[in-house]
Amino acid sequence: MAQTDDAAHSLSVVAESAVALAKAELKLAVSEGKAWFSRIGMGLLFAYLGLLFAQASILLIALTPILLGFRPWPIVLLSVGLGVVPAAILFLVARWEFGRLKALPPLKKRLSSPPNPNHPASEAGRA
């Protein structure tokens, strides 16, 4: 009877460990997903702000001939530069944020199970 109690206790310990491992893997996947979505969101935000500044710059460039009639050229050049420089910086930051996504492991590979060599449908079992 004591042997069956030890076996049952060992089985319950293994089951509890498997559940704890599954919970830890799920927490890891959730945190990686949050990191991925936050980087995508920041990249899109910076790209959007860069587009807004680029639109303002294009409008100022289109209005340059009119502005040159009322203002000296250094002031017009400064006003165009005030739109172009932030747009370029924001596009570079957005590119950097999107580049940081490559450092994160893909979620599909992280959550998929390894191939089983004993299973007839797996790639490793066919070889």
Inter-residue contact 83 to 50 (CB < 8 Å): no
Higher pLDDT, 127 or 15: 15
Residue 7 is assigned to a structural domain of this protein: no
Residue 10 is assigned to a structural domain of this protein: no
Residue 17 is assigned to a structural domain of this protein: no
- pTM of the complete model beyond 0.75: no
Residue 26 is assigned to a structural domain of this protein: no
Inter-residue contact 83 to 53 (CB < 8 Å): yes
Place of tokens 């999107």: 98
What integer pLDDT is reported at residue 59 of this predicted model?
Answer: 93
Residue 8 is assigned to a structural domain of this protein: no
Nearest residue to 105 via CA among 7, 32, 6, 47: 32
Residue 18 is assigned to a structural domain of this protein: no
Residue 52 is assigned to a structural domain of this protein: yes
Inter-residue contact 115 to 124 (CB < 8 Å): yes
Residue 57's domain spans which residues? 32-108
Residue 126 is assigned to a structural domain of this protein: no
Question: What is the number of domains present in the chain?
Answer: 1
